[in-house]
Structure 1
């Protein structure tokens, strides 16, 4: 079991794929945004949507205290030796604030997808054997099922499950044991109009309901195929998302914490998809969750 410093992740983080946009205007806005997340007191910024490590460097450079993690880097798209070399440089630049989040992605998104569990084991072996190894304490795995969760406990700092319920969090804690990091993602829609909030949530969820890794996990948790129709049933949305005002989000965060989460990575969705960096919502959540600002 790797020695894990949970404190460096903090209680609450932000997960966002908008932190590595392809358009120049969006990219120019990222340094100021992550610097503000740092100042607001968030513990970790998770760069979602399979970023490359080249895209992580500007976020490291723009921050001073916050942990910077990939959520997640696909093992099919990046050679382990190159990742190890880049990780070592990032760790040096970040003074130990960088965490390598790894995942096996999905068969429909990856042409060479095969034997995902064995492929992850081989990838971790390669990271261990690299000239500049990535220590187990410096990496987390995107784990959903029991085998990958056990691997995350033994070969990494812990697990970063995506699109999971509080019930899954309790099961993951039991599978990981008491010491490994458990840092699930929780998607938030700050809107008191519940129908509007559900509409935003379904707009995001409909894509993920086409991916068997997620639907199989939800079926294991007791949902049915009927819950996957039309972007997700109300019951499914209530279990996977925090929909409503800041008080609702605070209650949902507590549910995951009570289930065994050490850290919550909050992904904020907004109705206006052109609003890539939801700074207003990040500020609202920082205040509602009583984060301690940094100077």
Structure 2
């Protein structure tokens, strides 16, 4: 599964740890979630690992512009020592509007910056199989196959998953994020999905990727077109949503990071994840 705001707030942390324990019991294999490193150990990742016995945890996605490589290495070593094989370091180049907003005009040559970051991790003898890259375009997908365990694409339709598998080849991990809305009422489902899409469609990395897949200005404006929503976000009853998730498996995904969207992002949609666990099992 993929988790957002609910997992990051201090005021929801105890509820999040309870949710993590339930996910562990339900059989989910990995939690992808955001968060930074603090004092060598990122709080959310370490706390979830400590609260569970089997559940994998992945950073989805740690920005290479903001995470000091030395701190990153120390954190991953700590997790590997305390929870062997359960933490996967997800790295990404973030987005120019996000990076430049914090430090003007620093988002230059993101691919080269990623190569340099990976070189630093290699020099510290951090195994390539303990990391994955946020990858959308062919160049970064190829790099993820060559220098990491694989790729974690975000905000992509199943057609991208199919193309990504062709680029990665057999073997490397392909773990796309897939947002879903378990809601039968079309107006409600579309309102939730378009609100979620709105922010991501302001980021060039995502819009450029969607343009490569044939989506145009009308699809990318505002909160996106209904056509784009239907391609990106399975919605409706349980069977329809499960079928949408399974499209990514048929397209070549090894795992799907399911993100259940609701109108209340700071509340864990436990009932939906329970239904999905039963259906997908």
TM range (shorter): over 0.9
- 4+ aligned runs moved over 4 Å, structure 1: none
1:124 aligns with 2:118: yes
What does residue 42 of structure 1 align with? 28
The superposition leaves residues 179-201 of structure 1 with CA deviations (integer Å, 9 ceiling, x where unpaired) of: 11100000011100122111100
1:148 to 140, 162, 165: 140
Cα distance in 1, alignment partners of residues 6 and 79 from structure 2: 17
How big is the shift at 1:96? 1.4
TM-score (norm 1): 0.89
What does residue 159 of structure 1 align with? 151
What does residue 30 of structure 1 align with? 16
How big is the shift at 1:274? 4.3
Cα distance in 2, alignment partners of residues 30 and 196 from structure 1: 26
The superposition leaves residues 216-266 of structure 1 with CA deviations (integer Å, 9 ceiling, x where unpaired) of: 000000000110123111110010001111101211122111111111000
DSSP 3-state at the match of 1:187: strand
Higher relative contact order (Cα pairs below 8 Å, separated by 6+ residues): 1
Q: Is the 8 Å Cα contact of residues 69 and 98 (structure 1) preserved in structure 2?
A: yes
Unaligned runs of 5+ in 2: 101-105
1:83 aligns with 2:83: no
Unaligned runs of 5+ in 1: 1-13, 291-295
TM-score (norm 2): 0.94
Check 1:274–1:127 CA distance in 2 against 1; reply closer, same or farther (3 A cut). Answer: closer
Cα distance in 2, alignment partners of residues 272 and 157 from structure 1: 33
Cα distance in 2, alignment partners of residues 216 and 18 from structure 1: 25
Q: Is the 8 Å Cα contact of residues 20 and 51 (structure 1) preserved in structure 2?
A: no
Cα distance in 1, alignment partners of residues 280 and 203 from structure 2: 32
The superposition leaves residues 94-131 of structure 1 with CA deviations (integer Å, 9 ceiling, x where unpaired) of: 1211100000000000022211100000000001112x
Map residues 241-256 of structure 1 onto 2, 5 A cutoff. Answer: 241-256=233-248
DSSP 3-state at the match of 2:234: strand
1:113 aligns with 2:99: no
1:139 aligns with 2:126: no
What does residue 4 of structure 1 align with? none
1:180 aligns with 2:172: yes
Q: Is the 8 Å Cα contact of residues 61 and 134 (structure 2) preserved in structure 1?
A: yes
DSSP 3-state at the match of 1:231: coil
1:56 to 38, 45, 53: 45
How big is the shift at 1:273? 3.6
Q: Is the 8 Å Cα contact of residues 128 and 135 (structure 1) preserved in structure 2?
A: yes
1:224 to 201, 216, 241: 216
Q: Is the 8 Å Cα contact of residues 36 and 67 (structure 2) preserved in structure 1?
A: no
The superposition leaves residues 74-95 of structure 1 with CA deviations (integer Å, 9 ceiling, x where unpaired) of: 1111111110011000111112
Cα distance in 1, alignment partners of residues 173 and 112 from structure 2: 22
- Number of residue pairs matched? 272
Cα distance in 1, alignment partners of residues 77 and 57 from structure 2: 14
How big is the shift at 1:19? 5.1
Q: Is the 8 Å Cα contact of residues 51 and 72 (structure 1) preserved in structure 2?
A: no
1:15 aligns with 2:2: yes
1:282 to 273, 277, 280: 273
1:192 to 153, 176, 184: 184
